A = this chain, B = another copy of it.
Amino acid sequence: MHKTEKVNLATAFASFSEHWSPRIAGQLNGQKVLLAKIKGAFVWHHHEHEDEMFLVHKGHFVMEFRDRSVALGPGDFLIVPRGVEHRPVAEDECEIVLFEPMATLNTGNVVDDARTVASPKQL
């Protein structure tokens, strides 16, 4: 069953504190809506078959690509196409909303003991 309850982003982000531990806040059309708090550097990775969207709710982070970087703040979003290596880096804590296919693994082609989350928790 699908739910039709609204979710408030500020309330939802206040419900957890771990970094790099995305929560599933919704599902639609085979995609998931993830909320994540990030701080520090993630691992370089790519997703073979999936595009990924990052929307900043609060704070700032930099999306590093191999040839450039994109600085993102509140209300900015960025779509990282499949196959493109990327690494999010946040100097201070940043709250982001992600949209990606249900099957997407957060570290893509890489398995990292500290960062890979095989089964994100429900919000």
Interface residues of A (CB under 8 A from B): 2-10, 25-29, 31, 33, 50-53, 57, 65, 70, 72, 75-81, 84, 99-101
Q: How many copies does the complex hold?
A: 2
Among residues of B, the one whose C-beta sits closest to the C-beta of A7 is B77
- B28, B75, B84: the one contacting A4 at CB < 8 Å is B84
Return A32 CB to nearest CB of chain B, in Å: 11
Determine if B2 and A81 form an interchain contact, defined as CB atoms under 8 angstroms apart: yes
Residues of B within 8 A of A9 (CB): 75-77
- Given A29-B50, A29-B51, the answer on whether A4 and B72 have CB atoms closer than 8 Å is no
Cross-chain pairs A/B with CB under 8 angstroms, 24 sampled: A4-B65, A4-B78, A4-B79, A4-B80, A4-B81, A4-B84, A5-B70, A5-B78, A6-B70, A7-B76, A9-B76, A25-B77, A26-B53, A26-B79, A27-B79, A28-B51, A28-B53, A29-B31, A29-B51, A29-B101, A31-B99, A33-B53, A33-B79, A57-B75
